[in-house]
């Protein structure tokens, strides 16, 4: 039996636009009543918050001046926002602390080495990335310490760490924690999964101890209690002590992140590698560990971001990091004005936001690239 339609159906309406800005807005912001309401509430909140913030940071801000008088409403004759003139006047102190002015080329060279090592490692297609890893994890730290503290062999005058301060100290503390925590965390994670009971329980004890102690307690122990247990003729630099404590503290958290990635890899991966003739060490290094690290990229970056922000705690134990130097600069009576405190903390917030946002965006880029590689192989 054959059925033939005698009349044509009415023309269907054109399909809804699914591409372009209109399609993106509909699919992501206005896809339903709930999403539409949420979008409108968020947009309303931004409409209330952004204009006064923009006026404070930009429109009503004071950009030039040599004292806090220019940032007083009664002197300016109009409402005064952020006093960026204060930041401009104190920028050298905020960056270098009390580091000698004649030797500030050394911190500048250190910043250049950090930028070189960071670009070398983060550029996925960079040549000789193995050498980049050696530079970042071994050569760079030793060279940076000799450069900043002074090396008589190279003709560099010693500079006491008590003179270091500001962004310089914040980057030093953060980089030491980041550079030390990743390899130590990997070793601790592998040790916790070891078949040797002594090694396994030693790693478990180390991880659980450092994860069970607040970071502020670690810093106080390192700066106040540690010298009491050392012989009278043995001293440890007051900046090195919290650096060691932060590195050990961060490595314990990193170990648990890496362990989660190792447990996410099916056992068949290791067995297949062994069946191909690889040793257990080769299977772990070439097959299992790369996949585990790829799985926990978000966790690793989240730990590093938290570590970068937690370095502000060193100011509590007397280390002149960025926040402590900012507080000292804010206490200058010559720069006494109502908006100086808000300006100082706004500048600190923008500083940390820039670094943390950059790390988060790079992690997202890595995830997208790894996901594209997986789709390409499937």
The rounded mean pLDDT for the chain is 85
3 state SS of 83: strand
Per-residue pLDDT averaged across 112-141, rounded?
84
- Whether the pLDDT of residue 148 is over 60: the answer is yes
Confidence of residue 168 (pLDDT cuts 50, 70, 90): very high
Token output for 19: 């591409």
Per-residue pLDDT averaged across 251-275, rounded?
90
Confidence of residue 2 (pLDDT cuts 50, 70, 90): low
- Whether the pLDDT of residue 16 is over 70: the answer is no
Confidence of residue 251 (pLDDT cuts 50, 70, 90): very high
Whole-angstrom Cα Rg for the chain: 27
Q: Is the pTM of this model over 0.75?
A: yes
Please enumerate in sequence order all residues whose Cβ is within 8 A of that of 78, keeping only pairs 6 or more positions apart, or say none.
60
DSSP 248-297: HHHHHHHHHHHHHHHHHS-HHHHHHHHHTT--HHHHIIIIIHHHHHHHTH
Are 321 and 169 contacting, i.e. CB atoms less than 8 angstroms apart? yes
User: Would you say the C-alpha torsion 17, 22, 24, 26 has a positive or negative sign?
Assistant: negative
List Cβ<8 Å contacts ≥24 apart for 73-80: 73/338, 80/337, 80/338, 80/339
Tell me the pLDDT tens digit for each residue of 278-337: 888 888 888 888 888 888 888 888 888 998 998 888 888 888 889 999 999 988 888 888
Spatial separation of the C-alpha atoms in residues 325 and 344, rounded to whole Å: 11
- Whether the pLDDT of residue 72 is over 80: the answer is yes
Q: Which pLDDT score is estimated for 209?
A: 93
Query: How many Cα atoms sit within 13 Å of 372 on the Cβ side?
Result: 6
Spatial separation of the C-alpha atoms in residues 190 and 196, rounded to whole Å: 11
Confidence of residue 111 (pLDDT cuts 50, 70, 90): very high
Tell me the pLDDT tens digit for each residue of 269-293: 888 888 888 888 888 888 888 888 8
Q: Which pLDDT score is estimated for 4?
A: 66
Token output for 26: 């509909």
The torsion region of residue 5 among left (phi > 0), alpha (psi -120 to 50) and beta comes to beta
Q: In terms of DSSP H, where are the helices of 193-237? A: 197-211, 215-220, 226-229
Tell me the pLDDT tens digit for each residue of 336-376: 888 899 999 999 999 999 999 998 888 888 888 777 555 55
Spatial separation of the C-alpha atoms in residues 73 and 57, rounded to whole Å: 15
Tell me the pLDDT tens digit for each residue of 187-243: 999 999 888 899 999 999 999 999 999 988 888 888 877 777 777 667 777 888 888
Please enumerate in sequence order all residues whose Cβ is within 8 A of that of 13, keeping only pairs 6 or more positions apart, or say none.
none
User: Would you say the C-alpha torsion 303, 306, 312, 313 has a positive or negative sign?
Assistant: negative
Are 173 and 240 contacting, i.e. CB atoms less than 8 angstroms apart? no
- Whether the pLDDT of residue 377 is over 70: the answer is no
3 state SS of 97: strand
């Amino acid at each position: 039996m054959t059925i033939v339609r005698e009349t044509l159906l009415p023309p269907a309406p054109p399909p809804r636009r699914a591409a372009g800005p209109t399609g993106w807005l509909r699919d992501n912001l206005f896809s339903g009543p709930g999403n539409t309401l949420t979008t409108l509430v968020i947009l309303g909140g931004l409409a209330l918050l952004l204009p006064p913030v923009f006026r404070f940071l930009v429109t009503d801000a004071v950009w030039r001046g040599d004292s806090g008088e220019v940032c007083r409403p009664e002197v300016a004759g109009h409402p005064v926002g952020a006093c960026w003139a204060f930041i401009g006047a104190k920028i050298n102190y905020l960056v270098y602390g009390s580091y000698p002015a004649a030797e500030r080329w050394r911190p500048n060279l250190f910043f250049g080495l950090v930028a070189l090592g960071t670009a070398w490692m983060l550029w996925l297609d960079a040549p000789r990335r193995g050498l980049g890893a050696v530079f970042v994890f071994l050569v760079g730290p030793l060279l940076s310490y000799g450069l900043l503290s002074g090396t008589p062999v190279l003709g560099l005058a010693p500079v006491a760490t008590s003179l270091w301060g500001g962004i310089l100290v914040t980057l030093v503390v953060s980089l030491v924690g980041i550079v030390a925590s990743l390899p130590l965390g990997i070793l601790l994670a592998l040790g916790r999964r070891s078949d040797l009971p002594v090694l396994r329980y030693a790693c478990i004890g180390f991880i659980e101890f450092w994860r069970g102690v607040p970071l502020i307690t670690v810093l106080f122990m390192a700066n106040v209690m540690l010298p009491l247990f050392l012989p009278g003729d043995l001293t440890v630099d007051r900046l090195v002590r919290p650096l060691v404590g932060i590195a050990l503290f961060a490595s314990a958290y990193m170990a648990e992140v890496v362990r989660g990635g190792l447990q996410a890899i099916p056992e068949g991966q290791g067995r297949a590698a062994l069946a191909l003739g690889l040793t257990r060490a080769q299977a772990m290094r070439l097959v299992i560990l790369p996949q585990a690290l790829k799985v926990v990229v978000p966790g690793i970056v989240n730990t590093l971001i938290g570590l970068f922000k937690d370095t502000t705690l060193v100011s509590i134990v007397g280390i002149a990091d960025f926040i402590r130097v900012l507080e000292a600069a804010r206490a200058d009576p010559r720069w006494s004005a109502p908006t100086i405190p808000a300006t100082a903390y706004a500048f600190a917030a923008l500083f940390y936001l820039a670094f943390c946002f950059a790390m988060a965006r790079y992690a997202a880029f890595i995830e997208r690239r790894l996901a594209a590689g997986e789709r390409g192989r499937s």
